[in-house]
Structure 1
Amino acid sequence: MNKKPIYILGTGLSHNGSAVLLKDGQICVAIEKERITRIKHDGGNDTAAIQYCLETEGIQLSDVDLIVQCENFEIPPRDFFRGERLFKGNEVPKLISISHHLAHAYSAVGTSPFTSCNVMVIDGCGSPLEQYLLLDQNQKESIASDVFNVVQMQCEKDSFYHFDGQNMIPLFKDFSEMSDLSSSEITLPTTKHSIGGFYATISNYVFGNMDDVGKLMGLAPYGKSGVYDYEVFEFINDRLFIKEDWKPFLDTPSNGYTFFKEHFEYYANVAKWAQEQVEKAVLQCIKLRTKQFPHENLCYSGGVALNAVANAKLEDSNVAQSIYFEPAASDNGLALGCAFYGWLSYLKQPKKQPNSSTCFGKHYSKETILHAYEEYKPELKMIAFFEEPELLQYSAEALLHGKTIGWFQSGSEFGPRALGRRSILAHPGRENMKNHINATIKFREDFRPFAPAVLQEKVQDYFEVGRKSPYMILVDRTKKEHLKNLKNVTHKDGSARVQTVEASWNPKFYNLIQAFYELSGIAVVLNTSFNKKGMPIVETPKEAFDLFKETALDVLVIENFVFLKN
């Protein structure tokens, strides 16, 4: 007799909302809300994301054993949160809430290879102190005593935990009071003293918005070190604080892209200074915590953990023997953490070993693809390949001849990076390809870099450190002898945000790069996300067709179908 599986639903209701379904402790479906609603960084109400998970798995809400939720500043009610919720009027399944940094921490340990480890969480702003103490009772001792001397609202800014294989034990938690947003000078968007808040502030200063703080990391290599000598961060009694004396020198905020371009060198120097300050602060903070509480394994999560340059320096610093960087480190990963908390801590079930994949989206059938194609038949012609090797040979030859490919395969990636399921692919060394993709396909700033996707076993041939980097979350440096062939995926300063591709969980993408290698002698392709500026990565075949039509993409591959413009 088959035992009924245990389903746990994790739901994140902060910005970058998401839902995750665990089946017997393993992720079976996960989706970010923005992929469904097509609104970048969409959060709040969780109905759309949860329905996607239930429909994909083919179950009802009544089949779910437990729901675990997390927001940021509040504990969402069962019936309504920015709209009606699916659980309205139902007593079951049971719904529990966890604090913000705890969700980040569990998202890292649940997807990591470790059975025990320490966990660092660094972001802009987590749960308010009162909410944390309400949800995590009897855990005051991990909080610095002077936190309790502050009268105004304070929120989590960095947290250090130990995971013993089942439970998360807080070792050191820091909080910061909120910023006074009425002030006329530069203020951090949420908390006064967080690394993530500082980075978002400088991003807003440089670009005039906080839509994509990762752009700052892409701009920094164009700047010079040492132009500004202000130190932003200091540690007092092991707690991180932000000084005030650097704020007056930032007196020329950008008022749009034209202004930014006119003053490019100035903003690039500011970005370089800010990036270096963040790298120093991250390393100092983590070294301080790991010195107090050593362990051979470290997990790292929270929005700041997406900084691939700081991450590489952290890995090189040997603060731990093994470091796992959570691929969905920002708030899109909260739902993962909620689900794993439910399995590990609430139900006390043993941790299951993950298979390293981050791709948990819906698989679209042949019928769905052909149905979506009906609308585009007059404009697009289709070639159907019945044998995968033929498809891969065709696609590799297209790349060799300078064609750009929209590559849509199987279930979508969970997290901010396209890893070969919803990607735009191109030749890494073709003259002017980087500018062409930025200008006519992505419609984004020309300074922004693209990633090299390289066969795992070849990474040391092309890159100086040759580190394993399956989630495009660490930078390396391109070896001099390969700079020409990798010019479109090597940044201004010689760095590259590498993705190492493994056959074990990314077989079709691996085999495509292998086919390109056999034709070109280069075991690397240019990989960027299948979207344009301001748009979430495509989720459905229809969205892929629409983007193919409105951009200069040459070829669209959806599963084993190839589409070309007439």
Structure 2
Amino acid sequence: MLIVGINAYHGDASAAAIVDGMLVAAAEEERFNRIKHAAGFPVEALKYVVSAAGASPRDIDILAVARDPWARIMRKAWHALKMPSVARDRLSAQSRFASIGAEAARALGVGGSSIPVRRVEHHRAHLASSFLVSPFDQAALLSIDGLGDFASAMWGVGRGGTISPMGVVTFPHSLGIFYTALTQYLGFPKYGDEYKVMGLASYGEPEMLEEFRKIVIAPDGGRMDFMLAPEYFTHQRSGGEMTWRAGEPTIGRLYSDFLVTRLGPVRDPAEPVDKRHIAIAASMQRRLEEVIIDRLRVLQRATGLKKLCLAGGVAYNCVVNGKILKQTGFEDIYIQSAAGDAGLAIGAAFDQWHSSASRPREFVMEHANWGPQFRADEIAGLLSSRESEIASQGCVISKIEDEDELCRMTAATIADGQVVGWFQGRMEWGPRALGNRSILADPRRAGMRDILNSKIKRREMFRPFAPSILEEAAADYFTQSYPSPFMLMAYSVRPEKRAVIPATTHVDGTGRLQTVNARQNPLYHKLIREFGRQTGVPVLLNTSFNENEPVVCRPEQALDCFLRTKMDLLVMGQFTVRRGGGN
């Protein structure tokens, strides 16, 4: 049975395919059309996952769509009476979903037909995207994001193949909108910029925390709900709807003039970041942590369960995630690599697999390598076709067929202070490069962070870089060692190790680590192990293979990025391109 799940007409459009209950492919549309957080219909991602499943469009049994227009219909109707202009916008958006089966058929080249569609409520799909691919037989579940199907949070319990919701937080209250509104206010207006503010928050102290406790109100007494003080926001009047032009998502202004009077002037994106901006970021982050940690304590007590599955865009906040096991009663946690809206594609598909029949769970997502891969002859053909261009930039092409030698050479290059573009196997699912589409460097060199930010990534200097570490060595370098295979946890670096890996230690002494074991990614594990053998430090600095664009997908994109930046070595499969021609 082939079930294809999609997230459509929203940011991070995506598709995933499962065959007889096993995930075979998943990808975001942005990796194909090269528009960050691409919205709209995931045409190319859909084509890819069906092809990767070895199927034709007519083989699709169910198209699972992560949107249910009937969810909370009475609340929607009530708000429609209060906000008729917003209601018209929402009806226009919903109309796109009425013919989504036919749209999918057209995208796959079988126009005139329609693929059978099943709809899954937004937050249920989020919960399914984590629990139904987790290693847990039962767990407490929590989804938190901006807004989907008129809700911003859902919690419940998962047992076997069943998800039982216990409650929701509905529009207009939303921790995701809270964080996005303040991100806009701080001068980071693009969709998906919240992670920048999370990094900025570590540079300051939450001096305005009392004000932020007025902005987000979290009742005591063992309750899971929370509220936004409406005077600080505009979305309860304007709706906060997403729009997109040429696929790039945009959300209108979410903060109110009242918020500006309380916090001070809005930062212009061209304006330098000052102490006030940092204090606001720190206060916002701290308030988010307080509310989430308190809700999780309530959830743990209410369910009596020790395992937690987390999903939704707020689940990308690795600072919060890193505190969950220390500050709540949970002992195990699972967050899949595409925890945000891209992950809805997997959640909708697995929800339908388990809803349509009583089936045992057999699949666990242990790695994120679900995207396209490319054969050696395809890479060889690319390099041959562009050999003169490569040579004109002083670069030399080589081939190393022995895997051990390839790792030895690459590790030595990194240990020498050079920067490597590493392109291997299947592209990662989710926003993080996890060792297949990565830029790698030496974490021992304090200046490497500034080199990468200014010469390669061309991004804000305050943003940190992540350490990839052998899973078996995590306890030697971090105060927590619970596995973090998808780079979604920030742990404190042990004080005695901060000078050892300064390039991946953030200003607050933490690192957003990726733990790597040989089962999840054998080649990347071998490379880190070899770097550890050569240097005594089994850690690599890992950042996504891109430069102000989506992570590279195809070999030609990797080559283009290498040639226009100042990377020293490109490794694609068995082939290498070295700048300067040295050995």
Contact 1:79 1:85 in 2 (8 A): no
Which of residues 168, 175, 182 in structure 2 aligns to 1:202? 182
Alpha-carbon distance in structure 2 between the residues aligned to 1:401 and 1:321: 40
Quick one: which amino acid aligns to residue 119 of structure 1?
Answer: L
Alpha-carbon distance in structure 1 between the residues aligned to 2:24 and 2:499: 42
1:63 corresponds to 2:63:
no
Q: Which residue of 1 aligns with 2:169?
A: 174
Alpha-carbon distance in structure 2 between the residues aligned to 1:343 and 1:37: 29
Q: Which residue of 1 aligns with 2:18?
A: 22
Task: Point out the structure with the larger helix share.
Answer: 2
Q: Quick one: structure 1 residues 446 and 76, their matched pair in 2 at CA, closer, same or farther if it must change by over 3 Å?
A: farther
Q: Which residue of 1 aligns with 2:90?
A: none
Quick one: which amino acid aligns to residue 147 of structure 2?
Answer: C
Q: Quick one: structure 1 residues 227 and 119, their matched pair in 2 at CA, closer, same or farther if it must change by over 3 Å?
A: closer
Q: Quick one: structure 1 residues 83 and 195, their matched pair in 2 at CA, closer, same or farther if it must change by over 3 Å?
A: farther
Alpha-carbon distance in structure 2 between the residues aligned to 1:85 and 1:169: 34
Which of residues 267, 289, 293 in structure 2 aligns to 1:254? 267
Which of residues 466, 482, 486 in structure 1 aligns to 2:497? 482
Contact 1:45 1:84 in 2 (8 A): no
Q: Which residue of 2 aligns with 1:317?
A: 327
1:264-307 deviations in Å (ceiling 9; x for gaps): 22211111000001001111222223333332322110000110
Within 5 A, what are the aligned runs for 1:444-459? 444-459=459-474
Alpha-carbon distance in structure 2 between the residues aligned to 1:77 and 1:52: 21
Alpha-carbon distance in structure 1 between the residues aligned to 2:100 and 2:180: 32
Alpha-carbon distance in structure 2 between the residues aligned to 1:561 and 1:76: 48
**3-state SS, counterpart of residue 556 of structure 1:** strand
Q: Which residue of 2 aligns with 1:472?
A: 487
Contact 1:305 1:326 in 2 (8 A): no
Quick one: which amino acid aligns to residue 509 of structure 2?
Answer: G
Q: CA deviation at 1:565?
A: 2.8
Alpha-carbon distance in structure 1 between the residues aligned to 2:27 and 2:452: 27
Q: Quick one: structure 1 residues 210 and 348, their matched pair in 2 at CA, closer, same or farther if it must change by over 3 Å?
A: farther
Within 5 A, what are the aligned runs for 1:406-425? 406-425=421-440
1:535-561 deviations in Å (ceiling 9; x for gaps): 110000000000001111110001111
Quick one: which amino acid aligns to residue 370 of structure 1?
Answer: A
Q: CA deviation at 1:346?
A: 2.1
Contact 2:64 2:120 in 1 (8 A): yes
Which of residues 216, 225, 229 in structure 1 aligns to 2:197? 216
**3-state SS, counterpart of residue 348 of structure 1:** coil
Q: CA deviation at 1:238?
A: 4.6
Contact 2:296 2:328 in 1 (8 A): no
Contact 1:306 1:327 in 2 (8 A): no
Quick one: which amino acid aligns to residue 346 of structure 2?
Answer: L
**3-state SS, counterpart of residue 411 of structure 1:** coil
1:401-450 deviations in Å (ceiling 9; x for gaps): 00100001100110111110100000001241100001111010000000
* Unpaired runs of at least 5, structure 1: 1-5, 128-154, 178-192
Q: CA deviation at 1:43?
A: 2.1
1:50 corresponds to 2:46:
yes
Which of residues 533, 536, 542 in structure 2 aligns to 1:518? 533
Q: Percent identity?
A: 31
Q: Quick one: structure 1 residues 88 and 296, their matched pair in 2 at CA, closer, same or farther if it must change by over 3 Å?
A: farther
Q: Which residue of 1 aligns with 2:570?
A: 556
Q: Which residue of 1 aligns with 2:229?
A: 243
1:116 corresponds to 2:133:
no
Give aligned pairs, total: 514
Q: CA deviation at 1:244?
A: 5.3
Alpha-carbon distance in structure 2 between the residues aligned to 1:393 and 1:37: 35
Contact 1:44 1:81 in 2 (8 A): no
1:54-102 deviations in Å (ceiling 9; x for gaps): 22333211222221112486335235669954464224x4211111101
Quick one: which amino acid aligns to residue 518 of structure 2?
Answer: A
Alpha-carbon distance in structure 2 between the residues aligned to 1:480 and 1:164: 40
Q: Which residue of 1 aligns with 2:550?
A: 536
1:304-328 deviations in Å (ceiling 9; x for gaps): 0110111111121233232212321
Q: Which residue of 2 aligns with 1:234?
A: 217
TM-score (norm 2): 0.85
RMSD of aligned Cα (Å) = 1.9
1:165 corresponds to 2:160:
yes
Alpha-carbon distance in structure 1 between the residues aligned to 2:535 and 2:564: 29
Q: Which residue of 2 aligns with 1:105?
A: 127
**3-state SS, counterpart of residue 522 of structure 1:** coil
Contact 2:336 2:365 in 1 (8 A): no
**3-state SS, counterpart of residue 387 of structure 2:** coil
Which of residues 10, 33, 44 in structure 1 aligns to 2:5? 10
Within 5 A, what are the aligned runs for 1:430-449? 430-449=445-464
Contact 2:135 2:364 in 1 (8 A): yes
Q: Which residue of 2 aligns with 1:183?
A: none
Alpha-carbon distance in structure 2 between the residues aligned to 1:318 and 1:228: 21
Q: Quick one: structure 1 residues 559 and 207, their matched pair in 2 at CA, closer, same or farther if it must change by over 3 Å?
A: same
Alpha-carbon distance in structure 2 between the residues aligned to 1:308 and 1:82: 34
Q: Which residue of 2 aligns with 1:383?
A: 398
Q: Quick one: structure 1 residues 289 and 479, their matched pair in 2 at CA, closer, same or farther if it must change by over 3 Å?
A: closer
**3-state SS, counterpart of residue 454 of structure 1:** strand
1:450-483 deviations in Å (ceiling 9; x for gaps): 0011111111111122332111111111122222
1:331-363 deviations in Å (ceiling 9; x for gaps): 010101011012111243221131501111122
| Bigger shift: residues 222-231 or 105-114 | 222-231
Which of residues 413, 418, 427 in structure 2 aligns to 1:398? 413
